[in-house]
Amino acid sequence: MSEHVHRDDFGARLGMWLFLVTEIVLFGGLFIGYSYMRYKYPVDFHHGGAELNATLGVINTVVLLTSSLTVVLAIVAIQRAEKKRAMAFLSTTLVLGVTFLIIKSFEWAAKFHHGLYPSAPHLATLPPGEQVFFGLYFTMTGLHGLHVIAGLSVLSVMLWWVATDRIRPDRYIHLENSGLYWHLVDVIWIFLLPLFYLAA
Amino acid sequence: MTTHAATPQPSYLVDTGSRKGLLAWLTSTDHKRVGVLYLVSMLSFFFVGVGIGFVMRLVQLTPFQHLITARTYNALFTVHGVIMIFLFVIPGLPAVFGNFFLPILIGAKDVAFPRLNLASWYFFMIGATLAVLSLFTGGGAPDTGWTFYAPFSLKTGTNVSLAVFGAFVLGFSSMLTGINFITTIHRLRAPGMKWFRMPLMCWALYSTSWIQLLATPILAITLVLVILERFFGIGIFDPAKGGDPLLYQHLFWIYSHPAVYIMILPAMGAITEIIPTFAKRTIFGYKAIAFSSMAIAGVGSLVWAHHMFTSGMSNLATMIFSLLTMIVAVPSAIKVFNWVATLYKGSIDFQPPLLFALTFIFLFAIGGLTGVMQGALAINVHIHDTYFIVGHFHYVMFGGTGFAFFAALLYWFPKMFGKMYSKKAIYAAWFPMFIGFNMLYFGMLILGMMGMPRRYFVHLPQFHTMHVVATVGSWFLVLGLLAFFGTLLYALFKGEKAEDNPWGGVTLEWTIPSPPPKENFDTIPTITHGPYHFEQESQ
């Protein structure tokens, strides 16, 4: 055996799943905080949720779910050695991810406009539960947004690797793992939607 | 013992690539070199921590203010805690001996993700640098204590944000190492190395890795919240904005109590390797030790609120956490009894590593039993936040993990560097270490019982005598530490060449040359029996 030719796709996938566990626990800490605060301030959370735009939230959910589908289709295309199709699907994913961020930024901008952001003078006049609600809203959607940006960066690299044949029909574990990460981003959003947008 | 191939490979200490010297070390993905990188960096931080502790003891030599200001004292105990916990005891054994020996113990050539492994070291160094930088920049060194309790950590003008961010990055290093070890143990065991044929150090590292994986992210998010709170005032921990500081304590201890087991489990693993080698017989209760590691990892994750008995929780919650705390003592005791049973009727070969392993058992037993005392609610209320707790966790962290680290270093030093140290000098160093340690920390236990609160800059006259005893103890301890590491440093440069198997060990690391060759094994061994198979015993 010569050195550094060791390759273990199963091991790589296992490592990725373990990493996803850490991500879930990371958000888990915030979900614990959310549960406790919602238990403490049920009415304020209801009012907080009413301030959010559920329609935009649902549209964003559809956008993100579709992007998860296109990642899977890209992996299938690579397995079938259809390079161009894989690149098209990956590009679609990137476009959908950016769309999600754009919609999100409009939402955040509206909240800032209405003075509903941490340490805003207006927010300080609201009941404590609503202040915590918006503190959590910005923390959790913000952290999720960072994960979307990280996922998009990784998927951009994957697109580049597909184009330059570093990802091939016989070697696509990197793409597969990136896809897993993107699904995680998706799954976390599926929890954020009801917790914030549908809290009213 | 297996013989080596006809053409011996160069040792991992020899640069074979195009890069030479320091650069070759800093870019090497060889698990052994990464382990040594951790060893060097961690011991450097350890001595900074020792120095700070030494100064704190000097301050307590008189009952009134002298030497430094109260503000500096606050910074010193914070930094002492941050350095010792995040930069020495948490990464301690897994990062050094785990990296160096895990692949060798299971018959592999490297860890599953060698590049990620090197990246973990860089994360460690970046986090450490940020933590150290926080002392000299911004509003001055953090003065919150290593626990960063809200709301004070949200309000203090000192440089908490940077220190907390440093701890966040260190957490990354810890998680990535955990992922790496779990994958390595699942995927890279040599043919025939079944789960119950693994040396018990591997079981200890395996359970440690799971805690690192499941607990560290909670700390990460908690620290992120502290930073967000300081910069944007999101209000989750701030009672003025509807938040709750108690939530901080819960989230912090959900990580930081299991972190105690991150510190102690690999230490127990190393002790479990040392004892059979010097008793020359197989370990007593292999499966009990393996499962007790997993049990400690599991139950240890459910006891965190015993740090908060006086913080204002419901009586029911305190009772449940008290019960769970008592239960976690059971698997720890299982290990201690198994070690003692292994020694019983063994043909004991008394060598420095065994001396330190036995010292570990003694000191850890005191640390463990004082821990059970504090798990009892009534006693806890009396001794909470006193020197008793300081004495207790130094018995566990320093007497336990620290002495296990020294034992492991003595045990594996000849293998790692191919040099043998002077055993007499080590025995001579042990003496002041042991005496000084007990004067210092048993003194603290007594002070705590008398009512001396922790973190106080000055003390009342009735505590003075014990404070003097403890401070004098700290001088012996530091003297012993200097002699210990001086001996090892001397051996590193001028020591005589060590044999491949100086202790007569039977696990896989003793079947390869000292220091190990780059690829560990010429051919991957096939395993046909359990790890502690001594020939003289089966006769």
Nearest to B220 by CA among B147, B164, B178, B262: B164
pLDDT computed for residue B539 by the predictor: 44
pLDDT of residue A6: 65
Q: Using the predicted structure, report yes or no on whether residue B473 has a pLDDT greater than 80.
A: yes
**In this structure, are residues B134 and B142 in contact, taking their beta carbons and an 8 Å threshold?**
yes
Give the Cα separation of A158 and A179 in Å (integer). Answer: 10
Helix axes B160-187, B200-232, angle to 10 degrees: 150
Residue in chain B closest to A16 (alpha carbons) equals B179
Q: What is the pLDDT of residue A1?
A: 35
Is the torsion defined by CA of A9, A10, A11, A14 positive or negative?
positive
Separation between Cα atoms, residue B291 and residue B287, nearest integer Å: 6
Task: Quote the CA–CA distance of B426 and B353 in Å, as a whole number.
Answer: 10
With residue B496 as reference, give the H or E element that holds it.
strand B496-497
- In this prediction, residue B536 has a pLDDT band, given cuts at 50, 70 and 90, of low
- What residues make up the domain containing A52? 9-197
Average pLDDT score, chain A: 91
Domain ranges of chain B: 26-532
Q: To the nearest 10°, report the CA torsion of B466, B471, B477, B478.
A: 170
B182: left (phi over 0), alpha (psi -120 to 50) or beta: alpha
pLDDT at B20: 78
Mean pLDDT of B442-458: 90
**Closest chain B residue to A44, measured at CA:** B242
User: For residue B117, what pLDDT is reported?
Assistant: 93
Tell me whether residues B218 and A6 touch, CB distance under 8 A. Answer: no
Residue in this structure with the two tokens 């105990």, named with its chain if needed: B77
Q: Which of A8, A41, A143 sits opposite B242 (nearest CB)?
A: A41
Q: Which residue has the higher pLDDT, B10 or A147?
A: A147
Which pLDDT value is given to residue B441? 94
| Amino acid present at B75 | A
Percent of residues, chain B, with pLDDT higher than 70: 98
Residues near A197 by Cβ (< 8 Å), separated by ≥ 6? A49, A52, A53, A54, A57, A58
List beta partners, residue B419: B497
ipTM (interface predicted TM): 0.90
- The reply to whether B365 touches chain A by the CB within 8 Å rule is no
pLDDT 10s digits, A8-67: 889 999 999 999 999 999 999 999 999 999 999 999 999 998 988 999 999 999 999 999
What CATH number is given for B26-532 in this structure? Answer: 1.20.210.10
User: What would the two tokens of residue B337 be?
Assistant: 């009894």
Instruction: Verify cis geometry, omega within 30 degrees of 0, for the bond prior to B515.
Output: yes
| Interchain CB distance below 8 Å, A40 and B244 | yes
CB under 8 Å to B315, separation ≥6 — which residues?
none
Identify which has the larger pLDDT, B179 or B259: B179
Q: How far apart are CA B495 and CA B426, in angstroms?
A: 13
- Number of residues in chain A: 200
Number of domains making up chain A = 1
How confident is residue B7, by pLDDT bands cut at 50, 70 and 90? low
Look up the CATH number of the domain holding residue A27: 1.20.120.80
What DSSP line would sit under chain A, residue for residue?
--TT----HHHHHHHHHHHHHHHHHHHHHHHHHHHHHHHH-HHHHHHHHHHS-HHHHHHHHHHHHHHHHHHHHHHHHHHTT-HHHHHHHHHHHHHHHHHHHHHHHHHHHHHHHTT-STT-HHHHTS-HHHHHHHHHHHHHHHHHHHHHHHHHHHHHHHHHHHHTTSSBTTB-HHHHHHHHHHHHHHHHHHHHIIIIIT--
Rounded Cα distance between A149 and B260, Å, is 34
CA torsion angle B286 B288 B289 B291 (round to 10): 120
Half-sphere exposure (CA, 13 Å, Cβ side) for A159? 18
Per-residue pLDDT, A114: 87
Is some CB atom of chain A closer than 8 A to the CB atom of B224?
A: yes
Share of chain B above pLDDT 90, in %: 52
Closest alpha carbon to B246 in A33, A128, A132? A33
What SS3 state is found at B17? coil
Residue A150 near chain B (CB below 8 Å): no
A6 vs B34: which has the higher pLDDT? B34
Mutate to test the interface with A, among B221, B225, B226, B524 (most CBs of A within 10 A): B221
B110 neighbourhood in chain A, CB within 8 Å = 6
Does residue B234 have a pLDDT over 90? no
Domain-located, residue A1: no
**pLDDT above 90 (res A89):** yes
CB atoms within 10 A of CB A168: 13
Whether A51 is in a domain gets the answer yes
Residue of A nearest to B174 (CA): A22
Instruction: List all residues 6 or more positions away from B430 whose beta carbon is below 8 Å from its beta carbon.
Output: B352, B355, B356, B359, B480, B484
Distance CA B463, CA B63 (A): 8
pLDDT > 70? residue A3 = no
- The pLDDT, as a whole number, for residue B3 is 46
Cβ pair B234:A29 closer than 8 A: no
In whole angstroms, give the CA distance from residue B413 to residue B497. 12
pLDDT above 60 (res B5): no
Q: What is the C-alpha end-to-end distance of chain A, expressed in Å?
A: 62
| B200-232 and B286-299 helices, crossing angle to 10° | 10
pLDDT higher than 60, residue A4: no
Give the angle A86-A90-A95 at the CA atoms, nearest 5°. 145
| Token digits of residue B427 | 């025995």
pLDDT of B455 above 60: yes
- Give B243's contacts in chain A (Cβ within 8 Å): 37, 132, 135
Range in A102-106, B139-143, B412-416 the model is least confident about: B139-143
d(CA B492, CA B489): 5
Cα dihedral across residues B208, B209, B213, B216: positive or negative: positive
Q: CA-to-CA distance for A23 and A188, rounded, in angstroms?
A: 10
Query: What pLDDT sits at residue B527?
Result: 87
Whether A102 is covered by a domain: the verdict is yes
- How far apart are the CA of A37 and the nearest CA of chain B, in angstroms? 8
Q: For residues B414 and B499, is the Cβ–Cβ distance under 8 A? A: yes
The DSSP call for residue B86 is I
Residue B230 pLDDT grade (very low, low, confident, very high; cuts 50, 70, 90)? confident
Contacts of B216 in chain A (CB under 8 A): 22
Dihedral angle of Cα B253, B258, B263, B269, to the nearest 10 degrees: 170
What residues of chain A lie within 8 A of the CB of B218, using their CB? 25-26, 28-29
DSSP H or E stretch at residue B99: helix B99-105
Characterise A119 by phi-psi region: left (phi > 0), alpha (psi -120 to 50), beta (else): left
State pLDDT tens for residues B480-508. 999 999 999 999 999 888 888 999 888 99
In a domain, A95, yes or no: yes
The per-residue pLDDT for A5 is 53
pLDDT per position as a tens digit, B68-123: 888 888 888 888 988 899 899 988 899 999 999 999 999 999 999 999 999 999 99
Distance CA B235, CA A122 (A): 14
End-to-end alpha-carbon separation of chain B, Å?
A: 16
